[in-house]
Structure formats: structure tokens, C-alpha cells
Amino acid sequence: MVHAEAATQTRTETDSLGAMEIPCDALWGIHTARALENFEISKRPISVYPELVVGLAMVKQAAARANAEIGVLDEHRADLIDRAAQLVIDGQFHEQFVVGVIQGGAGTSTNMNANEVITNIALELAGRERGDYAYLSPIDHTNRSQSTNDVYPTSIKIGLSLSLGSLLTELDLLRKSFLAKATEFHDVLKVGRTQLQDAVPMTLGQEFHGFATTLAADYERLRENAVLLHEINMGATAIGTGITTHPDYAGAVERHLRDITGLDLETASDLVESTSDTGSFMSFSSSLKRNAIKLSKICNDLRLLSSGPQAGLGEINLPARQAGSSIMPGKVNPVIPEVVNQVAFAVAGSDVTVTMAVEAGQLQLNAFEPVIAHSIFQSIIWMRQAMRTLRVNCVDGITANRARLGAMVGSSVGVITALTPFIGYSAAAALAKTALLTNRSVADLVVEAGLMEPAEVEKQLSPSRLSGLEPVTSVIPIIAPEDVPTQG
């Protein structure tokens, strides 16, 4: 247990603005302390995005190894930084990354938070006191050959790449869940709809297979856009000219980063352009929005198909997750699709934020990468969780109202579309009108009109043919509407 007296003990640190008292139990230092005073905005520290913290540590580790390799940092200090960074990569000390996710300074506070935490961990590994920066400095050693302007965007790209892996895992699991339902419902005939009006028959399995297919397409689009994040600007330092770096540094740090991250990273051919351009973030954000909006559309369909259950479509049943009303007994709402819809709205809003921030960059740097990072990391996390709850708490438990679906198909005039290759469009249209006016079966009217034999009608209106699983081609005879018997 920490005594109150010990918790209030401080150490003194100084920077170009003066001195500050830093809590002794803090691994961060004066630059982080100033950020805590200045940016009390979001109430969310950067540690809420652990992959970003890991990305920062990986960059610091790679820089230490590169600096030692090219001889600009002694082996002992480089090893201390390397080992300290590895502890952060392994998940330790993340609570010390305390600066707010929204901050001015183009990410400088985040970079300094990382420099100070890793330096103080390294000092303790060396048996030194926290804040002993004469021995190991956050700037002169841990930040050697670096600038926020290459560390921060590179760390974001690495963090996003790491986050994407878990998102893609959930996306693929959700796709498989829809695919399993497609198999389960492969023989369940239903009425398809366009513009909310009855169209032609299909199977419920075909509908769910379409959901799975569209998610598979999103999986590929996300992977394609993620490749854009593999271009880094390490070695650019302040504006892309590489000032303060050794000529061999950029190549060395790239090699070490590739080894540490396992990502196919590549140094940009034009570091000035790469330092000022944030277009890759916009493209990646756009692919997240695409996935979110398409997922929202699927959830709209699930809510509509399950509407009722008595006075709506009532074609499928979603698992009952909680009571739906404080006043209406027995009411159950589609809460899982609803929450996914809301996540999609938030992701779309975040994409607008990213777009505005990308546009707002000026000259050699974009100062708004903190809000870009926050927006995209939040979108990934929310989407990942939304996909999981949709799969586990909804899709896996969906059942079909087979009797109701069969009844709707049996009474639908849309089935006459399947007979148009045999009786022609005009005759079909006339009989459809009669069926609606008289509430009679289309099949009976076709037989009564002498246009087809009962056995042939039954064959063409079989589930396999109505759903298009068994293709039908035939010569279409010319039958005039006036030749079709009608009933008043």
C-alpha cells in the first residue's frame, strides 16, 4: 500500500520554460506534465489506444538499434532504451501514457510522453533514479535522430496496422456467421422486394449469402487500403530534409522496424512530401466508413425483416436480448442491430473529421494528426466490438418463420414473373392484375386461361426455379392481353 506521504513526493525537472515538480511515482516528466495542463480536453489518455502505445515503443526501439548500428549512440544506452521499449511493447507501463488523445502541437506531447516514459524505465533498468537525464536523456538519447514529425505518423501507421488485424478477424467471423445462416436457410422460399414493394421470389439463404458476400468484399478493400499505411517517413525529422540524421539512418531504422513489427514497411521516396501528406489516413478511414455503412444497411434489413412480430414483415426472429419497454409488456426490440447502426453513424462522422483534418494541413506539416489518429483508432475499436456483438448476440441466433414465408410466397402475384418466358409479359401483366383484384392464385388463373398445363405451372413455380437456382430459358410466345380471360 502506498502511503499518502510517499504519493505526494516529487522530483524537480526543468525545460526551456522553467522548472516543475513531477510526482516521484510518475515515469513521465516535465513535457508530459505541461501537456496535462494544456490539453484537458478529451478526458481520454492515449493509453486507451494500446496499439498506438505499442507503435510508439516499436519506433523508439528501432531508432535505438539503428543509432547504435550507425555509431551515433553508444551500445550501452541503446541497449537500455531497447529493453525499456520492449517492456512497453509487451504491455507494461501503458498507464504512464497519460497525455490526452486530442492535443495541439502535431503530436509532440505524445512523442515526449513516450520519450520520458521509456527513458525513465531505462534509467531504472540501469539502477539509476527517475529523472537522471544527465545519464540518459529523453531528447538527446531516446529521441536521437528523430522528430515528432516522423515518429508520430509512423507510430500511428504501425498502430493502425496492428489494430486492423483484430478488426479483420471479427469481420471474417461475422461473414462466416452469415454464410452459416445462408446454408441453414437455403431452401426457405420468400418474396424478394425492391423499393419496399413485392418483387420476385428468392430464398432466405440467398439473402443471407448476399450479406456474407458484401462483407467479404469489404475485407479485401480494408486490406488494400491498409497497404498505404506501410509507407513511412522515418529519417525525415522536422520537414523531410533529414536534418540532424546520419546518411545511413533512414535505411537502418526501416530495416529494424520491419523486423520488429513484421510489417512490410517502406521508406517514402520523397520524405518532404510524405511528411506533409496524410492522404493514406483519409483513404484508410474511407474504407472503414464503407464497411460501416454497408454493415448498417445489413442491420436495417435485419430490423425490417424481423419487424412485427405480428403487424410487420415477421420473416425472421432475432434473439431476444432484453425487455424492450418500461410500459409495454412483452415488447422486444432489435437492440443489437440498432447499436451497430449507431456505430456506423459515428464512423461516418469520424471519416468527415479525418477528411477535414487532412485538408487543413499547411505547408510542410499537418498539425492535426492527433484528431486523425483518435478518429480512426476509435472507429476501429467500435467497429470491432460492434461486429462481435452482432455476430454473437444476433446473427448466430436468427431463426426463420418458415410458415409465414411460405404463405406470403403462395399468395404473391410476383411469382407470375417466372412464367413470362412461357406466356409473355403482356399476358402475365393482365393475369397479375386479375389476381390482385380477385385475390385468386396466379397458378389457377394461368391454367384457367389455357396458357399452360397444371403440371408445367407446378414445375416452373418450384422453389428451385422461383429462386433462380435452376435456370429457365424458353421461346416466349406472343400472347396479346386481350386474349387473356379476365374476371370482373
- The 10s digit of each residue's pLDDT in 128-150 is 999 999 999 999 999 999 999 99
Q: Residue 44 pLDDT more than 80? A: yes
From 25, 108, 95, 104, select the one nearest 53 (Cα to Cα). 95
Cα angle vertex 88, ends 84, 90, to 5°?
110
Name the pLDDT band for 3 (thresholds 50, 70, 90): very low
Percent of the residues in the chain that have a pLDDT greater than 90, as a whole number: 69
Which pLDDT value is given to residue 6? 47
Q: Residue 478 pLDDT more than 50? A: no
Gyration radius of the chain over CA positions: 31
Q: From CA 282, how far away is CA 302, in angstroms rounded?
A: 30
- Output the CATH code of domain 150-229+273-402: 1.20.200.10
Which pLDDT value is given to residue 452? 82
Q: Residue 2 pLDDT more than 80? A: no
145 in Cβ contact with 253 (< 8 Å): yes
- Output the CATH code of domain 10-144: 1.10.275.10
Which pLDDT value is given to residue 470? 63
The per-residue pLDDT of the chain, averaged, comes to 89
Average pLDDT over residues 398-417: 82
Q: Is 441 exposed, middle or buried (0-12, 13-18, 19+ CB in 10 A)?
A: middle
Cα atoms in the 13 Å half-sphere on the side-chain side of 216: 10
Cα angle vertex 108, ends 100, 226, to 5°?
80
Name the pLDDT band for 479 (thresholds 50, 70, 90): very low
Q: Are strands 231-232 and 266-267 parallel, antiparallel or unpaired?
A: parallel
106 in Cβ contact with 149 (< 8 Å): yes
Which pLDDT value is given to residue 469? 63
The per-residue pLDDT for range 272-298, each reduced to its tens digit, is: 998 999 999 999 999 999 999 999 999
Q: How many CB atoms lie within 10 A of CB 29?
A: 25
Which pLDDT value is given to residue 325? 67
The per-residue pLDDT for range 347-370, each reduced to its tens digit, is: 999 999 999 999 999 999 899 999
Cα atoms in the 13 Å half-sphere on the side-chain side of 88: 34
Paired with 316 in beta bridges are 400
* Residue found by looking up cell 512523442 in the block: 111
Q: CA–CA distance from 345 to each of 151, 334, 338 (Å)?
A: 31, 17, 11
Which pLDDT value is given to residue 324? 65
Q: What is the DSSP string of 290-313?
A: HHHHHHHHHHHHHHHHT--SSSS-
Q: From CA 250, how far away is CA 242, in angstroms rounded?
A: 9
Q: What are phi and psi of 401, to 5 degrees?
A: -85, 80
The per-residue pLDDT for range 60-89, each reduced to its tens digit, is: 999 999 999 999 999 999 999 999 999 999
Q: From CA 258, how far away is CA 335, in angstroms rounded?
A: 43
Which pLDDT value is given to residue 431? 80
Which pLDDT value is given to residue 429? 85
Q: What is the DSSP string of 170-226?
A: HHHHHHHHHHHHHHHTTT-EEEEEETTEEEEEEEHHHHHHHHHHHHHHHHHHHHHHH
**What's the whole-model pTM score?**
0.86
Name the pLDDT band for 26 (thresholds 50, 70, 90): very high
Q: Residue 1 pLDDT more than 60? A: no
Q: From CA 483, how far away is CA 2, in angstroms rounded?
A: 96
DSSP-derived 3-state class of residue 81 = helix
Average pLDDT over residues 318-336: 78
Ordered by start, the domain boundaries in the chain are 10-144, 150-229+273-402, 412-487
Q: Residue 486 pLDDT more than 70? A: no
Cell of 84: 525499456
Q: Which residues are catalytic?
A: 325
The per-residue pLDDT for range 451-475, each reduced to its tens digit, is: 888 888 777 777 666 766 666 555 4
Which comes out higher in pLDDT, residue 343 or 331? Answer: 343
Q: What are phi and psi of 317, to 5 degrees?
A: -115, 125
Helices H, strands E: what count in the chain?
18, 8
Q: From CA 377, how far away is CA 285, in angstroms rounded?
A: 10
Q: From CA 456, how far away is CA 453, in angstroms rounded?
A: 5
Amino acid at the residue 474: S
How long a stretch of residues is the chain?
488
The per-residue pLDDT for range 182-213, each reduced to its tens digit, is: 999 998 988 889 898 888 888 899 999 999 99
Name the pLDDT band for 446 (thresholds 50, 70, 90): confident
* Residue found by looking up cell 448466430 in the block: 396
Which comes out higher in pLDDT, residue 183 or 5? Answer: 183
